[in-house]
Structure formats: structure tokens, C-alpha cells
Amino acid sequence: MKLTVELGPRSYPILIAPGAMREAGALTAEMRGRAMVAVVTDETVAGLHLDTLRAALEGAGRQVEAIILPPGEATKSWAHLALLTDRLLALGVERGDFIVALGGGVIGDLAGFAAAILRRGCRFVQVPTTLLSQVDSSVGGKTAIDSAAGKNLIGAFHQPSLVLIDPNVLATLPMRELRAGYAEIVKIGLIGDAGFFDWCDANLDAVLARDPAALAKAIETAVRAKAEVVAADEHETTGLRALLNLGHTFGHALEGEAGFSDLLLHGEAVACGMVLAFRLSAELGLCPAADAERVAAHIVRAGLPAHPRDIGLTTDAATLVRHMTQDKKMQGGRLGLILARGIGQAFTTKEVELATVEAFLAKVLAEA
């Protein structure tokens, strides 16, 4: 299956096929460049999948230089960006070369950002290995690191030249990571496709059991939807792409409180954030309470946190709101929020006062 992100001269293909990683040599042949290819990955993925990718690339005459970083969100940092760019420069990576990001969203976001700034811009290829990165982060060109002030605050839009999605690599993914990736799949239904949410509700168990047909349908639907949104609003200027941020303003605040650690994975934070966005929508009289309850029940059934108490964080509403004010959707001091009129009917608004959000969160946090 081949999809295209239609961005004029920056258009690129997304290839989704079981076994695609074994074909990486042939699939990247058209990209030309020199024989040397820098593959950026993390220790866990290196142990499981680097040999396959290396063999595929070397079989096509490439010379692979692997840069192996520690796994986990903490790697999306200034320190690892400095280390990575130093290594890439020491290898003599040129503008005409391409860098391969082999891993989850952490490696994709970091290597993509390094590619964006190295010699003012190199090409890069995404080979996503988590469910989350296959359905979301490898597509669309948002690259970033975290900063002490918040999530993804230092970054650039820099589109990859190719995305290679091999669902076979998900066989080794831990269950917790699979569930976290699922949150970004069901997000697509909640934003604008009620029929797909119904499909998710009916096929949740099959997706989590890694049934190949269910996974294929889930990945393709999410990637196709994201590719269309990115093509229509690459730089998040019209409000369309901002919808992909459903649950993220709350979620990023929770991740910040968790110190960008394994205590709370990004997908888990998004899951909880989406429940909060639907609950707030219902409390403001914008969305039927039954829809908000259905979303919460689905997230619980997926084994994801639906309430801050499920995460075990000690925090307070004012602190969470302080995190939220660092959100990239802030405009003129007002919070840009993604709320919903119902399942599949998300919309952006700047009409909700920070004090309203804080009172809502205080009420949620007070629940036993």
C-alpha cells in the first residue's frame, strides 16, 4: 500500500507493507546520495531490528553507520541533540545524504530535528517501529525536542523524504507501548470520523491482539487521515491540523508533571487528555454527556488512563494550567483548545477562559 503526502515539491511516499524493512535497500535506491547512510536508533530497537535494516541497506550497496542512543523520552533533549549532531558531523554527513530514523517517535522527532538543522537541512527517512510512530509521528514533519519549559517546544517543521512502515516489527513491541500507540489511532475517529470510532469500539480487542488485518486497517486509516490533514495545513495555520492535537494540551501538561519520564507515555497522556477534553466539552454544554462517557469507557477498555488518578501523579490544577500556557496553540494569551460537539466532531476554540479550565481540573483532581 502506497500513500502520498501531497506537498508539491516536498511530497513524499508512505509505504505500508509487512516486510518493508527487508526491502529498505531497494526502496531507498531512488534517493541516490552517497553510499554512507547514518541510521539513528535507540538501544532497544538496535538489539531487535537494526541487523535487518543494515542487511537490507548493505545489500543495496550502502554503508551503514549506526548511531545508537538511550531509549525513552529523556532522549528528546538538548544533550542528545548535541551528541547526535556532533556524531553526524563527525561522519561527514552532507546535505545530499539522507539520515534514517529507525525507532519510535522519540528517535523520529530527534533525528528529524537533527536533519532539519544539520548544514541547514538534510533529507531523512522515517522507519517507524512503534505503533504510535507508524500511525502518527513518522508522518507530517513535526520534529522537536522537549525543554524544561515543556513538551516539543524546540523544533522545526521538516518533512521526511520517505516513510517505510513495516507492521511486522510490531511483533516485538511491549503491550504497554502498543496500547499507547492505539490512543493516537482512536484519536482519528474522535476528531472527525464517528464511523471509524465505531470500528475501533468493535475491533479494539483484535487490534490489541495484533491481528494483522485489524492492525492493517487501523494503521492505514490513521495514516491516510493524517496525510490528508498535513497536505491541507502543513504548518498548522488554518486550524485543521490543530485538530490532531485533541487531548494534547491536557496530555502535554500531564507529561510535563511526570517529568517526561516512563511514568507516563505520550500515548497514555493523550488518552487521558482526550477524556478530559470530552468531559470539559460536556460540562460546557457543548457535547452530549453520553458521548463523553462512551469515550472514557473506551479508553478504560483499551487499558489506558482515563483519569489523572490512574496515572498516580500528585499535582494540582494551577500547576497543570501553568504547563498548558506553554502550549504552542496559545494566541494573545488565550488558550487554543480542541473540544468536541460529539464523537467525530472536534473543533478548535479560544473561547474557554484559563480560570474555567482550572476550575474544571480542580474538580476532576478532587474526585476520589
Ligand X SMILES: NC(=O)c1ccc[n+]([C@@H]2O[C@H](COP(=O)([O-])OP(=O)(O)OC[C@H]3O[C@@H](n4cnc5c(N)ncnc54)[C@H](O)[C@@H]3O)[C@@H](O)[C@H]2O)c1
Ligand Y SMILES: O=C(O)C(=O)C[C@@H](O)[C@H](O)[C@H](O)COP(=O)(O)O
Binding residue ranges: 105-109, 129-130, 142, 151, 184, 248, 266
- Residues with Cβ within 8 Å of 32's Cβ and at least 6 positions away in sequence, in order, are 96
For position 256 contacting ligand Y by CB under 6 A, the verdict is no
48 binds, options ligand Y, ligand X, none, Cβ within 5 to 8 A by partner type = ligand X
Asked if 81 and 46 touch (Cβ cutoff 8 Å), the reply is no
CB of 62 or CB of 266, closer to ligand X:
266
Residues 130-149 that bind ligand X (CB under 6 A): 130, 132-133, 136-137, 140, 142
Residues 182-201 that bind ligand X (CB under 6 A): 184
CB of 93 or CB of 107, closer to ligand X:
107
Cell of 275: 477524556
177 binds, options ligand Y, ligand X, none, Cβ within 5 to 8 A by partner type = ligand X
Give the Cα separation of 231 and 189 in Å (integer).
19
The yes-or-no answer on residue 323 being catalytic is no
DSSP bridge pairs for 124: 99
For position 249 contacting ligand X by CB under 6 A, the verdict is no
Judged by CB under 6 A, the stretch of 24-32, 217-225, 238-246, 298-306 that binds ligand Y is 238-246
Task: Tell me the per-residue interface mask from 170 to 199 with ligand Y, x by CB under 6 A, - otherwise.
Answer: --------------x---------------
- 288 exposure class (CB count in 10 Å sphere: 0-12, 13-18, 19+): middle
Residues 251-270 that bind ligand X (CB under 6 A): 265-267
For position 146 contacting ligand Y by CB under 6 A, the verdict is no
For position 344 contacting ligand X by CB under 6 A, the verdict is no
Sign, CA torsion 262/51/32/82: positive
Calculate the dihedral angle through the C-alpha atoms of 149, 155, 160, 166, rounding to the nearest 10 degrees.
-10
Cell of 71: 531509549
The yes-or-no answer on residue 228 being catalytic is no
Strand, helix or coil for residue 25: helix
The yes-or-no answer on residue 203 being catalytic is no
The yes-or-no answer on residue 217 being catalytic is no
The yes-or-no answer on residue 58 being catalytic is no
User: Which member of 241, 279, 328, 329 is catalytic?
Assistant: 241
Binding positions for NAD(+) are: 105-109, 129-130, 142, 151
User: Which member of 54, 245, 255, 323 is catalytic?
Assistant: 245
Q: Could you tell me the smallest distance in angstroms from the CB atom of residue 22 to ligand Y?
A: 28
Give the Cα separation of 244 and 248 in Å (integer).
8
Strands 346-349 and 337-340: antiparallel
User: Which member of 252, 298, 328, 329 is catalytic?
Assistant: 252
Cell of 61: 550497496
Give the Cα separation of 110 and 75 in Å (integer).
8
CB-closest chain residue to ligand X: 105
Strand, helix or coil for residue 230: helix
Asked if 122 and 93 touch (Cβ cutoff 8 Å), the reply is yes
Residue positions annotated with a catalytic role: 120, 142, 184, 226, 236, 241, 245, 248, 252, 266
